[in-house]
Amino acid sequence: MNIDGKEIGNNNPCFIIAELSANHNGNLEVALETVRAAKRAGADCIKLQTYTPDTLTIDCNKDDFIIKGTLWEGQNLYSLYEKAYTPWDWHKEIMDLAKELGLVCFSSPFDFTAVDFLEELKVPAYKIASFEITDIPLIEYVASKGKPVIISTGIATIPDIELALETCRKVGNNNISLLKCTSSYPAPIDEANMMMIKDLQERFDVIPGLSDHTMGSIVPVVATSLGAKIIEKHFILDKSIGGPDASFSMDEAEFKEMVDQVRLAESALGSVNYELTEKQEKGKFFSRSLYVVKDIKKGELFTSENVRSIRPGFGLHPKYYYDMLGTEAKEDFLKGDRLEK
């Protein structure tokens, strides 16, 4: 997968996305400074969400439309999205700044009009949010644009995932990543289920990744070690500005720490290589080998009393210990002499 010149998957570094979401708090200058902060924090990408309250829901106070059991308890859907949405006339300025800074920028569309709008802006990829994985007409329309499609699986069953993938592939788009996601805000670490990273890759033949709502960096680091090639985290300039997503978003210092930890994890993973490094070769000094531990005269026998396997490792390999015992010394040996073939 290639997004705007960034290769994703195989042995390439993890692609790290800073999700802006509602963290501009209705202020364009905050949004733009958040993009700058994401660059400073080491993100590869800044991601937007493209909707309006009217493209997501209707303004209705019937019980069905009242949010229950989340941190947005008691609000109706329309009022939440009215506070959270990113004005469409901000998109170009945000994207232009991201490009200037060397950041990739794309968005999650939530209806056909958003896709059409993002096509005009020439976005390099699309993200399908967790709650939209069952919106098959939207997925088909997005996939038909022929660009990489990143799909979160926060509320998805296996049939949901299979149908979403089938929909993309039916229109000839196999450029897909699936992100493990736990759709709780914030998400408990014990519900992260990071073992699914490998399963997503093997079961569905896609690039696996993580859209994370847990607190801290541990889950992204574990995901990286299990093969995640995309990490997405909500990003905020300053939690004190508040907003619908502030409580489970990372600020610049937290995000930078996460990026650093992910990069260290990648470095630690390395590759399958049984060749010894120069430092490891030097470490052989502390390995065992066969040495004379008591003076031996020519003609005397090597015994367990005068030969031992000890440090350092410059002498004969210990595997020859029993071969040496009972044989005759062909010269004089002093205590501390190494045995050699």
* CATH fold for the domain made of 274-341: Type Iii Antifreeze Protein Isoform Hplc 12 (3.90.1210)
Neighbours of 26 (CB within 10 A): 15
Which two three-digit tokens encode residue 2? 């290639």
Cis link prior to 186 (omega < 30° from 0)? yes
Mean pLDDT of the chain: 95
Q: Is the pLDDT of residue 276 over 90?
A: no
Superfamily the domain 2-269 falls into: Aldolase class I (3.20.20.70)
Q: Is the pLDDT of residue 70 over 80?
A: no
Distance of CA 136 to the CA centre of its chain: 27
pLDDT digits (tens, 9 = 90+) for 277-315: 888 888 888 999 999 999 999 999 999 999 999 999 999
- Of all residues in the chain, the percent with pLDDT exceeding 90 is 86
Q: What is the pLDDT of residue 200?
A: 97
Average pLDDT of 136-150? 98
Structure confidence at residue 264 as a pLDDT band (50, 70, 90): very high
Average pLDDT of 83-107? 97
Average pLDDT of 142-152? 98
Tell me the C-alpha to C-alpha distance, in Å, between residue 331 and each of 129, 267, 293, 297. 80, 51, 15, 7
- Of all residues in the chain, the percent with pLDDT exceeding 70 is 100
Q: What is the pLDDT of residue 219?
A: 96
Average pLDDT of 233-257? 92
Structure confidence at residue 59 as a pLDDT band (50, 70, 90): very high
Q: What is the pLDDT of residue 133?
A: 96
pTM as predicted? 0.87
Q: What is the pLDDT of residue 283?
A: 83
Cis link prior to 312 (omega < 30° from 0)? yes
Choice among 19-28, 90-99, 154-163, 182-191 with the minimum mean pLDDT: 182-191
Q: What is the pLDDT of residue 72?
A: 79
pLDDT digits (tens, 9 = 90+) for 165-205: 999 999 999 999 999 998 777 888 999 999 999 999 999 99
Average pLDDT of 213-225? 95
Identify which of 297, 299, 302, 294 has the alpha carbon closest to the alpha carbon of residue 340.
302
Q: How buried is 158 (Cβ within 10 angstroms: 0-12 exposed, 13-18 middle, 19+ buried)?
A: exposed
The 3-state secondary structure of the chain reads CEECCEECCCCCCCEEEEECCCCCCCCHHHHHHHHHHHHHCCCCEEEEEECCHHHHCCCCCCHHHECCCCCCCCCEHHHHHHHHCCCHHHHHHHHHHHHHHCCEEEEEECCHHHHHHHHHCCCCCEEECHHHCCCHHHHHHHHCCCCCEEEECCCCCHHHHHHHHHHHHHCCCCCEEEEEECCCCCCCHHHCCCCHHHHHHHHHCCEEEEEECCCCCHHHHHHHHCCCCEEEEEECCCHHHCCCCHHHCECHHHHHHHHHHHHHHHHHHCCCCCCCCHHHHHHHHHCCEEEECCCECCCCECCCCCEEEECCCCCECHHHHHHHCCCECCCCECCCCECCC
**How is the chain split into domains, by residue range?**
2-269, 274-341
